[in-house]
Amino acid sequence: MGTEKPVPSIRGLAGLIKSLQKEWPQVLCRLVDFDPKLDVDDVSGKILQEILDPDLSLSETAYLGQERRTLETIPVAWNSRPSKKLDQKKVFLVSGGAKGVTAECIIRLAQSHPARFIVTGRSQIIDEPAWARGLESDALQKAAIESIRQTSEKPTPAKVRKLMDSIESNRSVQNNLQRLRDSGAEVEYIAADVTDEQGLLEALNPIQKKWGPVEGIIHGAGVLADKRIENKTLEDIKRVYQTKVKGLQTLLEVIDESKLTHLILFSSAAGFFGNAGQSDYAAANEVLNQYAIQFSQNHPECQVVSFNWGPWEGGMVDEDLKKMFEERGVYVIPVETGTGLFTECVLNPPDEPLLIVGSTMGVPEGEMPISNESKEISRVLKSEKLPVVEDHRIGENAVLPASFAQSWMESTSQNLYPGLKLTQCSDFKVLKGIVFDSELQDSYTLNLKRKKSESKDELVLDAKISSSMGSKPRFHYSCQLKLQIRGNSESTGEDPKNWDIREETPIDGKVFYENGTLFHGLRFQGVKKLLREDTSSLLLSCRLSDFDSKELGLFSRSRVSPMILDLGYQAMLIWARKHYECASLPLAFKLSEHFFAPTPQDEFFISLNVTDHNSNRVTGDLYFLDKNENVFSQMKGAEVTLSKKLNPLFASA
Domain segments of the chain: what residues?
91-122+192-357, 385-424+453-459+482-653
Whether pLDDT at 500 is above 70: no
Q: Determine the pLDDT at residue 81.
A: 59
Q: Phi, psi (5° rounding) for residue 528?
A: -100, -35
95 and 120 Cβ atoms separated by less than 8 Å: yes
312 and 340 Cβ atoms separated by less than 8 Å: no
Region 222-248 average pLDDT: 94
34 and 63 Cβ atoms separated by less than 8 Å: yes
Q: How confident is the model at residue 316 (pLDDT cuts 50, 70, 90)?
A: low
How far, CA to CA in Å, does 263 sit from each of 291, 352, 523? 10, 13, 53
Q: Determine the pLDDT at residue 597.
A: 82
Among the residue ranges 94-98, 134-138, 367-371, 455-459, the one predicted with the least confidence is: 367-371
Closest CA to 406 of 354, 467, 449, 463: 463
More confident residue, 108 or 351: 108
Whether pLDDT at 395 is above 60: yes
Q: Which DSSP symbol is given to 333?
A: B
Whether pLDDT at 64 is above 80: yes
Whether pLDDT at 82 is above 60: no
Cα 471 to Cα 468: distance, rounded to the nearest angstrom? 7
Closest CA to 541 of 578, 581, 577, 499: 499
Whether pLDDT at 61 is above 50: yes
CA atoms within 13 A on the CB side of 300: 1
Q: Determine the pLDDT at residue 367.
A: 47
Q: Determine the pLDDT at residue 407.
A: 93
More confident residue, 10 or 620: 620
Give CATH for domain 91-122+192-357: 3.40.50.720
Measured in whole angstroms, the distance separating CA 540 from the mean position of its chain's CA atoms is: 35
Whether pLDDT at 139 is above 90: yes
Would the CA dihedral through 338, 340, 344, 346 be positive or negative?
positive
Region 127-137 average pLDDT: 91
37 and 65 Cβ atoms separated by less than 8 Å: yes
Average pLDDT, the chain: 87
17 and 274 Cβ atoms separated by less than 8 Å: yes
Other beta carbons within 10 Å of 453: 15
518 and 512 Cβ atoms separated by less than 8 Å: yes
Q: Determine the pLDDT at residue 321.
A: 58
Q: Which fold has domain 385-424+453-459+482-653?
A: Thiol Ester Dehydrase; Chain A (3.10.129)
- Out of 387-396, 464-473, 589-598, 634-643, give the one with best mean pLDDT: 634-643
Other beta carbons within 10 Å of 554: 16
Burial class (CB in 10 A: 0-12, 13-18, 19+), 472: exposed
Cα 93 to Cα 107: distance, rounded to the nearest angstrom? 14
310 and 357 Cβ atoms separated by less than 8 Å: yes
Whether pLDDT at 628 is above 90: no
Q: How confident is the model at residue 607 (pLDDT cuts 50, 70, 90)?
A: very high
Q: Give the predicted TM-score (pTM) of the model.
A: 0.60
Q: Determine the pLDDT at residue 400.
A: 95
Among the residue ranges 101-105, 201-205, 377-381, the one predicted with the least confidence is: 377-381
Q: Determine the pLDDT at residue 358.
A: 76
19 and 279 Cβ atoms separated by less than 8 Å: yes
More confident residue, 380 or 250: 250
Q: How confident is the model at residue 381 (pLDDT cuts 50, 70, 90)?
A: confident
Contacts 24+ apart (CB under 8 A), 641-645: 641/584, 641/585, 641/587, 641/616, 641/617, 642/576, 642/580, 642/582, 642/583, 642/584, 642/615, 642/616, 642/617, 642/618, 643/582, 643/583, 643/584, 643/585, 644/581, 644/582, 644/583
Among the residue ranges 487-501, 549-563, 598-612, the one predicted with the least confidence is: 487-501
CA angle 488, 492, 495 (to 5 degrees): 160
| Neighbour-count burial for 576-602, b at 16+ CB within 10 Å, e otherwise | bbbbbebbbbbbbbebbbbbeebeeee
Whether pLDDT at 371 is above 70: no
Whether pLDDT at 56 is above 80: no
The DSSP result for 165-176, as a single string, is HHHHHHHHHHHH
Closest CA to 642 of 621, 612, 622, 604: 612
Among the residue ranges 106-120, 147-161, 202-216, 478-492, the one predicted with the least confidence is: 478-492
